[in-house]
Chains A and B, each alone.
Chain A
Amino acid sequence: MDLLNLDLSGPQWGLVWPQLIVFLLAVVLVFADAFIPKHRSFEMLTGISIVGYLLALGALYWQHDKHAATFQGSFRADGLTVFLSLIILVAAIFSVLTSANYLKDYGERVPIGEYYILLAFSVLGALLVSSAGDLITIFVGIELTALATYVLTGYTKRNAQAVEGALKYFLLGIFASAILLYGMAWAYGLSGSTGLDNIRANVGAAVEGQEWFEASVLLALLLLIVGLGFKIAAVPFHMWTPDAYEGAPTPVTAYMSVIPKAAGFAAMIRLLVQGLGPLSEDWRWLIAVLAVLTMMLGNIVALSQRNLKRMLAYSSIAHTGYMMVGLAAYREGTGFGNDLENIIGTRGVSALLYYMLAYVFMNIGAFAVLTWIQARGRGVTLDDVSGLASTDPLPAAAMAVFMVSLMGIPPLIGFYAKYYVILAAMEADMLWLAIAVVLASGISAYFYLRVVAVMYFSSSDVTNTRSVRTPLLNASIILLVIGNLVLGLFSAGIVDLSEDWTNALTVAQTTDGADAAQVTNP
């Protein structure tokens, strides 16, 4: 395609149904919120949201066996798209379920409609990042996710702590976006294209046989990894995390610990594996070092936290580290001065994807129980849950399941997630990284088990001050517990599935009308 012969064929709508449904959901919610009378809006908007996400989840079925690109290469419907969209949509449904009661209870002070609209746009942004085939789509998708999340963080705007967290998140977030954009500009300059497939081909051809590491490539990689490191809260770019997580309303914390992070990892996989895969021998060291730092710092600082939201914030940083191990285990044949026989680390990417799925169930679960406790007038410190098992045995049991799962104890999903990550690290000849994961998990046992111990073996000195019914929240907690117990048993199948789906990732798709710019050595 060039300027004189425009490709005016429209997109293939059959490929974009799940994303289109979420988009329509957001638009419908805007109109619904504007026109539905206030006393009906809660039930209507919650219902519309859940039905919309379920429809999108169903529509993924028709996307899963496609391997094609549309929107002139900007949109890719491949296995990775489907798996990531699955994770994101499941997380979205649980986010709606956990926040519904919170919004109903405090609807006097926080507007309900905007919450669901912003949530829908944010989910849509994450879906578009995971299906992006183009640098610009990745960037605007990430911005869409992040912008809506900034607003949600400061949603209880009369709460000084929420505003403080939102401001820190926003300022560091836009700074990171600028860095990411600069990195993308370098990637574009080095490859002559914004399409990921073209970048892969061009960079691969350019670095073939080069013996020394080029400074410009290193700069591009650094900028991209730093920019995305902020989004996924990797150490040392995690500074915003504790304050934003603590300040945000608890259901929003549950949401923002999962979906923007999923979007960040989706962008990392798209950019580093799909776009800059030929450089994997160069970037995987950066990722591996960051992963170790992230795991260690997250877990060690979490030891001293008595506020459970802050503790879970550091725990989520640590889990970012585990997920990055999966990415670091991706190794591809070519690169500067490197001649591996073939790709040996695709299991790394599928381990990362499975970990993300597990993380949705573990982390939203933990925050859902905190929301449950808060709805009954308790706080979120360790003292507030002491003796919870004697007054409210079922939520305490659920919390225990989530904590043990986050720690990684065998029958639960968290164990399988860590198992596959460790396996991937060992397959990629990075034994030290696998050992670091085990060590970090050992440290984390202390603060996860402390919560369980306080709930079960301390005397109860805090009581529920309010009595409310939270049917949707209860349902989501039950579903999450079941997910934690059951999904681990099907882990082998899920990992194989994600591997099948992502293996096609590095193969250039049929990009209709994308120009194939060539790389030259000037």
Chain B
Amino acid sequence: MPWETLIFFLVGALAILSALGMVAMNNPVHSAIFLVICFVQIAGIFVMLGAEYLAVIQIIVYTGAVMVLLLFVLMLVDMDDLPEFHTAEPLTRVIGTLLGVMLLIEVAIAIGTRTISGAPGTDTPEAVALVGGNTQAIGRVLYTKYLLPFEIISMVLTVGVLGAIVLALPERLGLEAGRRRDTISLGHPRGTDTVLPIESGAETANLSGRSNAQPAGVGRTLIMATDPDDQPVKVGGRRS
């Protein structure tokens, strides 16, 4: 067996095993670490395919940026607030597994019995080598043939910035000074959104409506803002 094939099987097996590990772990942070390992293996597969640029993106964007974001989110929420892992009803687990296996078999059959496939086109490995390599080739195609999707992606990124600001920015930053005291928000004594207690527990109280650290949060009730769609409702309850 040529050693390239050997390395491919090694990398592939590691990718699959780390993906399984990610699903099986009980601690979300451990899952995240396994996901990092999986991403690195996939970057390795990209390298073997000759797509060095994609490999580097895989590392920079996924293992770098996205995982940092994911870990931040994990640390923003209290682990105790998360639903218990692996407590799905037996029926759900069986059906889920069954569907996954079915998809796997379907993909295997589709790959195995495939008779038609697209031709490689004009961008042959020789042409790629001639323009200087993989990254140069992507640059040449991305900004000419795929110019429109490329510009749309910048809009998607802008919407990402906007969405993060709309959903995650605490209101007292976004509002002007004079209007702040009218809002009522989660976990604060009624009517005092701006006048946050100075105690160190204030920030955590802001998040979950209860304070872990300081007795300052004792006696606070959960107050939701009233807006027109606000109806008394049990969150997460089953409704048909």
A–B direct touch in complex (beta carbons closer than 8 A): yes
B contact residues around A190 at 8 Å (CB): 114, 116-118
Q: Knowing A114-B165, A158-B185, A164-B235 touch, does A140 contact B152 (C-beta < 8 A)?
A: yes
Q: Nearest Cβ distance between residue B233 and chain A, in whole angstroms?
A: 5
Binds B, one of A257-265, A445-453, A492-500, A514-522: A514-522
Closest 5 CB pairs of A and B: A192-B118, A158-B225, A151-B163, A74-B148, A216-B110
Binds B, one of A53-61, A247-255, A280-288: A247-255
Q: Is the CB of B227 within 8 A of A158?
A: yes
Whole-angstrom distance between the alpha carbons of A521 and B224 in the complex? 63
B contact residues around A30 at 8 Å (CB): 158, 162
A contact residues around B147 at 8 Å (CB): 11, 71-72, 74
Q: Is the CB of A140 within 8 A of B228?
A: no
Whole-angstrom distance between the alpha carbons of A454 and B156 in the complex? 44
Binds B, one of A90-98, A104-112, A342-350, A395-403: A104-112
Whole-angstrom distance between the alpha carbons of A521 and B115 in the complex? 6
B contact residues around A352 at 8 Å (CB): none
Q: Is the CB of B149 within 8 A of A137?
A: yes
7 sample A-B contacts, Cβ–Cβ < 8 Å, listed by A number: A3-B123, A111-B174, A121-B158, A159-B227, A215-B114, A222-B106, A513-B145
Closest residue of A by beta carbon distance from B132: A3
Whole-angstrom distance between the alpha carbons of A114 and B230 in the complex? 21
Q: Is the CB of B225 within 8 A of A192?
A: no
Closest residue of A by beta carbon distance from B237: A164
B-side interface residues toward A, CB under 8 Å?
106-107, 109-111, 113-123, 127-128, 130-131, 137, 140-141, 144-149, 152-153, 155-156, 158-160, 162-163, 165-167, 174, 176, 179, 182-186, 224-225, 227-231, 233, 235-236, 239-240
Give residues of chain A (85-132) contacting chain B, Cβ–Cβ below 8 Å: 102, 105-106, 108-111, 114, 117-118, 121, 124-125, 128
Please tell me if A219 contacts chain B, counting CB pairs below 8 Å: yes
Binds B, one of A141-149, A407-415, A477-485: A141-149
A contact residues around B183 at 8 Å (CB): 108-109
Which residue from B107, B145, B162, B240 sits with its C-beta under 8 Å from A117? Answer: B162
A contact residues around B140 at 8 Å (CB): 3, 6
B contact residues around A26 at 8 Å (CB): 155
Whole-angstrom distance between the alpha carbons of A218 and B182 in the complex? 57
Whole-angstrom distance between the alpha carbons of A492 and B137 in the complex? 51
Please tell me if A458 contacts chain B, counting CB pairs below 8 Å: no
Please tell me if A322 contacts chain B, counting CB pairs below 8 Å: no
Instruction: Mark each residue of chain A from 229 to 270: 1 if its CB lies under 8 Å from any CB of chain B, else 0.
Output: 000000000000011000111100000000000000000000
Q: Is the CB of B123 within 8 A of A2?
A: yes
Whole-angstrom distance between the alpha carbons of A203 and B131 in the complex? 31
Which residue from B156, B162, B224 sits with its C-beta under 8 Å from A160? Answer: B224
Q: Is the CB of A150 within 8 A of B163?
A: yes
Q: Is the CB of A109 within 8 A of B227?
A: yes
Please tell me if A188 contacts chain B, counting CB pairs below 8 Å: yes
Closest residue of B by beta carbon distance from A309: B229
Closest residue of B by beta carbon distance from A220: B110
Closest residue of A by beta carbon distance from B127: A3
B contact residues around A156 at 8 Å (CB): 225, 227, 229-230
Which residue from A134, A136, A515, A520 sits with its C-beta under 8 Å from B117? Answer: A520
Whole-angstrom distance between the alpha carbons of A159 and B229 in the complex? 8
Please tell me if A157 contacts chain B, counting CB pairs below 8 Å: yes
B contact residues around A247 at 8 Å (CB): 229
Identify the interface centre among B117, B118, B166: most chain A CB within 10 Å of its CB.
B118
Name 5 extra pairs, CB < 8 A, besides A156-B225, A207-B116, A519-B118. Answer: A121-B158, A121-B159, A134-B149, A161-B231, A164-B236
Whole-angstrom distance between the alpha carbons of A520 and B114 in the complex? 12
Whole-angstrom distance between the alpha carbons of A206 and B111 in the complex? 16
Q: Nearest Cβ distance between residue B182 and chain A, in whole angstroms?
A: 6
Whole-angstrom distance between the alpha carbons of A375 and B137 in the complex? 56
Q: Knowing A2-B127, A3-B130 touch, does A147 contact B118 (C-beta < 8 A)?
A: no
Q: Is the CB of B162 within 8 A of A151?
A: yes
Q: Is the CB of A148 within 8 A of B109?
A: no
Q: Is the CB of B107 within 8 A of A219?
A: yes
Q: Is the CB of B155 within 8 A of A74?
A: no
Please tell me if A374 contacts chain B, counting CB pairs below 8 Å: yes
Q: Is the CB of A517 within 8 A of B167?
A: no
Q: Nearest Cβ distance between residue B70 and chain A, in whole angstroms?
A: 14
Q: Knowing A3-B140, A150-B163, A215-B110 touch, does A519 contact B229 (C-beta < 8 A)?
A: no
Identify the interface centre among A147, A217, A514: most chain B CB within 10 Å of its CB.
A147
Which residue from A140, A147, A515 sits with its C-beta under 8 Å from B163? Answer: A147
Q: Knowing A137-B149, A148-B159, A160-B224 touch, does A192 contact B122 (C-beta < 8 A)?
A: no
Q: Nearest Cβ distance between residue A498 and chain B, in whole angstroms?
A: 25
A contact residues around B116 at 8 Å (CB): 190, 203, 206-207, 214, 216-217, 519, 521
Q: Knowing A72-B144, A136-B149 touch, does A202 contact B229 (C-beta < 8 A)?
A: no
Which residue from B115, B141, B225 sits with its C-beta under 8 Å from A159? Answer: B225
Q: Is the CB of A158 within 8 A of B186?
A: yes
Please tell me if A65 contacts chain B, counting CB pairs below 8 Å: no
Which residue from B119, B130, B131, B145 sits with its C-beta under 8 Å from A192? Answer: B119
A contact residues around B127 at 8 Å (CB): 2-4
Identify the interface centre among B122, B152, B229: most chain A CB within 10 Å of its CB.
B229
Q: Nearest Cβ distance between residue B53 and chain A, in whole angstroms?
A: 14
Q: Nearest Cβ distance between residue A403 and chain B, in whole angstroms?
A: 21
Please tell me if A162 contacts chain B, counting CB pairs below 8 Å: yes
